[in-house]
Amino acid sequence: MIEFEHVSKRYPERGDALKDLTFRLEAGEMAFLTGHSGAGKSTLLKLIGLLERPSRGSVRVGDDDLARLPRRRIPAHRRRIGMVFQDHRLLAERSVFDNVALPLVTAGMTRDDIGKRVRAALDQVGLLKLERALPLTLSSGEQQRVGIARAVVGRPEVILADEPTGNLDPELSQEIFRLFERFHQLGVSLLIATHDLDLIQSLGHRTLVLKQGRLVADAIPRPAAPEPGPESDPAPAP
């Protein structure tokens, strides 16, 4: 469960990135986060991943109040969360296997356990045969799947994805979202920041819309109209 209560984030140099945000994402729920560039999507994800702390309000993940979480517990918190990025953030000098293994290595797992879990994760994203390849020899879609395998290998409670299909063509984007759907069916909570309104509408999950740091809509989008007509928008926030 993720809960934001009157959360604001202010940067000294560029002002308010988030303003008085309140919402709750239940365990096992999948939701999209959308809005224009600079609307605060990445900042919101950073607050959940504790890459930033809120200026005001409380962010809770499970039983933890992140504003008060001591620094020494941050690594354990991050291991409960899998993060996927638009630029993949893979280590170019390490093999696919080693990249995916990283969260398990840092968690101090045994080599045998790491081997089993990494191969299972690579199998889930269809890259088992490429475990020895270096990331730069892979296509962009394959690199993103490695990123997803790394995010899920530690069996996190929550997956956060920041524009995971931003660099991919529509077909690859659908493939990535199908993967996310599969993890959702396994009971993982997902919060995915994306600009891709077509995919949001086609998948029909809850969608949070941010505008200039404020939550302006929180609803499940209506299916697209069969005939050309006005663009369907999510309903306003309650």
Partner 1 sequence: MSNRTPRWLRRVGTWAGNHRRAATETLDRLIRAPLGTLMTVAAIAIALALPATLLVSTDNLEGLAGDWRRGAALSLFLSPELDEAAGERLAAALRSRIDIERVAVVSRADGLAEFREYSGLGGAIDQLPGNPLPVVLAVYPAADLSPGEDVDALLAGLAALPGVDFAQADAQWVKRLQAILSLLREGTWLLGGMLALGVVLVVGNTIRLEIENRRDEILVMDLVGATGTFIRRPFIYAGAWYGMLGGMLAWALVDTAIWLLQRPVDRVAALYEAELRLVGLDLHQSLALLALGTLLGMVGSRIAAGRHLQRLRPV
Question: Which residues sit at the interface with partner 1, rule CB under 8 A?
Answer: 49-53, 71, 74-79, 83, 89-91, 102-103, 105-112, 150, 154
**Joined tokens for residue 187:** 């009971």
Least Å distance between CB 211 and partner 1? Answer: 26
User: Looking at beta carbons only, is 9 or 205 nearer to partner 1?
Assistant: 9
> How far apart, in whole angstroms, are the C-alpha atoms of residue 97 and residue 113?
13
Least Å distance between CB 69 and partner 1? Answer: 10
How large is the angle between the packed helices 111-124 and 140-152, nearest 10 degrees? 130
Non-local CB neighbours of 4 within 8 Å, separated by 6+ positions: 21, 22, 23, 24, 44, 47, 57, 58, 59
User: Looking at beta carbons only, is 30 or 151 nearer to partner 1?
Assistant: 151
Least Å distance between CB 213 and partner 1? Answer: 20
User: Looking at beta carbons only, is 90 or 199 nearer to partner 1?
Assistant: 90
User: Looking at beta carbons only, is 33 or 84 nearer to partner 1?
Assistant: 84
Cα(first)–Cα(last) distance of the chain, in Å?
Answer: 20
User: Looking at beta carbons only, is 115 or 219 nearer to partner 1?
Assistant: 115
Of residues 23, 22, 25, 21, the one with CA closest to residue 1: 25
Least Å distance between CB 109 and partner 1? Answer: 7
SS3 63: coil
Least Å distance between CB 14 and partner 1? Answer: 16
